[in-house]
């Protein structure tokens, strides 16, 4: 690795950082407009064209707002929690490929640059590990605030995360079976091509139940409605971030939308073929740009479903949330895992009696 390789890595990190921040600004605006349309109202329209700068105005307001810190907080953990909630959100996207690699000549050497922060051979395990780390930030924020209401929100977050991370992890095992790899780029490559020249070889076709379980689980993992009992304003004030204000509160708000974007991108990558799509025989720059467009179209379709669910379904009761996780999703994921193992084993090794 020489200086140019280091420069490529730095550029990738900066691009991912800028992309996620820009996506957050766009997502907040889109959600306000989508929910407003579904509820027959206007939504933001004053700040910037079509109200698109409303998110920026809210961010600046929170940045300059006074940072209030209660007397009874555990200061170290209280200040660390907002940072911990952002770090996994930014790191998860580093292993998601958004397009095909391209070749560039730097320093007199041709280098293949992947459209991915880094290609880990255990990328799927890395994603699960990072999503688990985000829970600690919520728990620490609730405990360190020195108040019973944030503590209740933090405890709820722990129980909810454990319940739905189990279902989410089990739903991803059949994907590994079918792709034969934990590398995200290899999982995407395994979904290239079509069946019969018509049906895309996306994992959602043979693994539709895995996709449904995974998508329900990621809605719960990101604490989005109807699984937003972690906050539950009517019951516990504001949840785990009740005692936070100003920019510290903005960190939690920012992480929620980044995680929604990340999880939608992961679902699109693992089940909808990622950047795969028809190139129509085009070459050159257009053939490089089309996969990126396909990736973002698939991601934003899933994000729209997130918003649709929020505008449609009421919040679950806590017993309903636990029942769905432990008595419905986890048993269904286990049965589907066994069936998938049998089918993949049969396909690769034949029937056991032959």
User: What is the structure's pLDDT at 235?
Assistant: 64
Cα–Cα distance measured from residue 313 to residue 193, given in angstroms and rounded to the nearest whole number: 37
Q: Tally Cβ neighbours within 10 Å of residue 26.
A: 16
Radius of gyration of the chain (CA): 22
**pLDDT tens-place string over residues 18-70:** 999 899 889 999 999 999 999 889 888 888 888 888 888 888 888 888 888 88
- The structure tokens 């009421």 sit at 314
- In 3D space, the residue among 141, 182, 139, 140 whose CA is nearest the CA of residue 162 turns out to be 139
Residues of the chain with pLDDT under 50: none
Contacts 24+ apart (CB under 8 A), 313-316: 313/225, 313/226, 314/226, 315/225, 315/226, 315/227, 315/228, 315/229, 315/232, 316/226, 316/227, 316/229
**Sequence ranges of the domains in the chain:** 56-349
* Lookup: tokens for 95: 């292993």
Q: Which residues of 189-215 are buried (b: 16+ CB within 10 A; e: fewer)?
A: ebbeeeeeeeebebbbeebebbbbbbb
Q: Tally Cβ neighbours within 10 Å of residue 100.
A: 17
- In 3D space, the residue among 97, 82, 75, 74 whose CA is nearest the CA of residue 16 turns out to be 97
Cα–Cα distance measured from residue 339 to residue 354, given in angstroms and rounded to the nearest whole number: 20
DSSP conformational letter for 51: G
Helix, coil or strand: residue 272: coil
Evaluate whether 152 touches 236 at the Cβ level (below 8 Å). yes
- In 3D space, the residue among 201, 211, 214 whose CA is nearest the CA of residue 169 turns out to be 214
Look up the pTM and report it. 0.93
Phi then psi for residue 57, to 5 deg, are -65, -40
Evaluate whether 344 touches 177 at the Cβ level (below 8 Å). yes
Evaluate whether 288 touches 97 at the Cβ level (below 8 Å). no
User: What is the structure's pLDDT at 262?
Assistant: 94
Evaluate whether 56 touches 22 at the Cβ level (below 8 Å). no
Task: To the nearest 10°, report the CA torsion of 250, 255, 260, 265.
Answer: 130
* Lookup: tokens for 281: 């025989």
Helix, coil or strand: residue 333: helix
Evaluate whether 186 touches 305 at the Cβ level (below 8 Å). no
Neighbouring-strand partners of residue 199: 195
């Amino acid at each position: 690795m020489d200086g140019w390789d280091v420069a490529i890595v730095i550029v990738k990190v900066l691009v991912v950082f800028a992309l996620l921040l820009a996506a957050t600004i766009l997502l907040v605006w889109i959600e306000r407009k989508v929910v407003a349309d579904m509820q027959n109202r206007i939504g933001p329209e004053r700040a910037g064209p079509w109200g698109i700068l409303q998110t920026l105005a809210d961010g600046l307001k929170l940045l300059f707002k006074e940072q209030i810190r209660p007397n009874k907080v555990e200061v170290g953990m209280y200040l660390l929690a907002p940072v911990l909630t952002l770090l996994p959100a930014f790191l998860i996207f580093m292993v998601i490929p958004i397009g095909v690699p391209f070749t560039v000549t730097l320093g007199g050497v041709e280098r293949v640059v992947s459209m991915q922060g880094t290609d880990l051979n255990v990328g799927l395990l890395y994603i699960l590990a990072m999503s688990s780390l985000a829970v600690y930030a919520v728990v620490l924020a609730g405990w360190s605030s020195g108040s019973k209401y944030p503590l209740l929100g933090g405890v709820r977050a722990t129980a909810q995360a454990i319940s739905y991370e189990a279902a989410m992890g089990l739903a991803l095992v059949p994907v590994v079976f079918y792709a034969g790899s934990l590398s995200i780029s290899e999982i995407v490559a395994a979904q290239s091509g079509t069946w019969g020249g018509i049906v895309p070889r996306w994992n959602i076709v043979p693994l539709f139940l895995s996709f449904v379980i995974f998508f329900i689980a990621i809605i719960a993992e990101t604490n989005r409605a109807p699984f937003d009992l972690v906050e539950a304003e009517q019951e516990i004030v504001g949840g785990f971030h009740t005692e936070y204000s100003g920019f510290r509160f903005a960190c939690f708000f920012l992480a929620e939308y980044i995680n929604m974007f990340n999880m939608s991108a992961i679902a699109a990558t693992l089940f909808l073929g990622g950047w795969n799509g028809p190139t129509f025989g085009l070459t050159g720059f257009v053939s490089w740009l089309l996969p990126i467009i396909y990736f973002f179209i698939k991601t934003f379709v899933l994000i729209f479903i997130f918003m649709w669910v929020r505008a449609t379904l009421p919040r679950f009761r806590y017993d309903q949330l636990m029942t769905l996780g432990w008595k419905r999703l986890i048993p269904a994921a286990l049965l589907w895992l066994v069936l998938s193992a049998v089918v993949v084993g049969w396909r690769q090794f034949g029937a056991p009696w032959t």
